Amino acid sequence: MTSSRIAPGLLSRLLLTLALCVPALATAQVLDAGTVIGNESALPIVVVPMPYQGGGVPPETDVAQVISADLNRSGQFRSLPEASIVERPTRGNEIRYPTWQLLKQDFVVVGRVLDTGDGGYRVEYELYDVAKQERLLGLALSGRGKGMRDVAHQIADQIYEKILGVRGAFWTRIAYVTQSGVGPQSRYALMVADSDGVNPQAVTRSGEPLLSPAWSPDGKRIAYVSFERGNSTIYVQEIATGAREVVASFKGINGAPAFSPDGRRLAMTLSKGGNPEIYVMDLGSRALSQVTSHFGIDTEAVWTPDGHLVFTSDRAGKPQLYQVPAGGGDPTRISFGGDSNARASVSFDGKKIAAAQGSGNVYRISVLDRSYGGSGRWQTLSPGNLDESPSFAPNASMLIYAAKEGRRGVLWAVSADGRVRQRLVLADGDVREPAWSPYRQR
Partner 1 sequence: MAPASSPQNSNNFKKGLTMNTATRVLLASAVIVALGACSKKVRETPDTTGGPTGPGTTTGGINDGIYGPEDLDTDACLRQRVVYFDFDQDTLRPEFQAQIACHAKYLRDRPGSRMTLEGNADERGTREYNLGLGERRGNAVSGAIQGSGGNGGQISVVSYGEERPVCSDSTEDCWARNRRVEIVYTVK
**Contact positions vs partner 1 (CB under 8 A):** 182, 209, 211-212, 227, 230-232, 251-253, 255-256, 269, 271, 274-276, 295-297, 299-300, 312, 314, 317-319, 340, 342-343, 356, 358, 361, 363, 385-386, 388-389, 404, 407, 432-433
Cβ burial, residue 328 (10 Å; 0-12/13-18/19+): middle
Q: What are phi and psi of 72, to 5 degrees?
A: -65, -45
Give the number of other CB atoms < 10 A from CB of residue 214: 23
Interatomic CA distance for residues 300 and 364, integer angstroms: 17
Q: HSE (CB half, 13 Å, CA atoms) of 441?
A: 5
Q: Which is nearer to partner 1, 76 or 345 (CB)?
A: 345
Write down the least CB distance from residue 276 to partner 1, Å. Answer: 4
**246 contacts 212 by C-beta, under 8 angstroms:** no
- Dump strand ranges (E) for 131-264: 134-143, 173-180, 187-194, 201-206, 210-215, 221-226, 233-238, 244-248, 254-259
SS (H, E, C) 368-426: EEHHHCCCCEEEECCCCCECEEEEECCCCCEEEEEEEECCEEEEEEEECCCCCEEEECC
Q: Which is nearer to partner 1, 183 or 284 (CB)?
A: 183
3-state secondary structure of 160: helix
Q: Which is nearer to partner 1, 5 or 205 (CB)?
A: 205
Q: Which is nearer to partner 1, 168 or 319 (CB)?
A: 319
Write down the least CB distance from residue 218 to partner 1, Å. Answer: 24
Write down the least CB distance from residue 342 to partner 1, Å. Answer: 4
The alpha carbon dihedral of 25, 347, 389, 215 has a sign of: positive
Write down the least CB distance from residue 437 to partner 1, Å. Answer: 20
Q: Which is nearer to partner 1, 45 or 268 (CB)?
A: 268
Q: Which is nearer to partner 1, 82 or 339 (CB)?
A: 339
Q: Which is nearer to partner 1, 95 or 258 (CB)?
A: 258
Write down the least CB distance from residue 209 to partner 1, Å. Answer: 4
Close Cβ partners of 277 (under 8 Å, ≥ 6 residues apart): 269, 270, 271, 290, 291, 292, 293, 294, 298
Write down the least CB distance from residue 390 to partner 1, Å. Answer: 10
Write down the least CB distance from residue 360 to partner 1, Å. Answer: 10
Question: Helix H segments across 22-79?
Answer: 63-73
Write down the least CB distance from residue 375 to partner 1, Å. Answer: 21
Q: Which is nearer to partner 1, 136 or 362 (CB)?
A: 362
Write down the least CB distance from residue 257 to partner 1, Å. Answer: 10
Bond into 254 cis (ω within 30)? no
Q: Which is nearer to partner 1, 2 or 290 (CB)?
A: 290
Interatomic CA distance for residues 402 and 393, integer angstroms: 14
The gap from C-alpha 244 to its chain's centroid, in whole angstroms, comes to 24
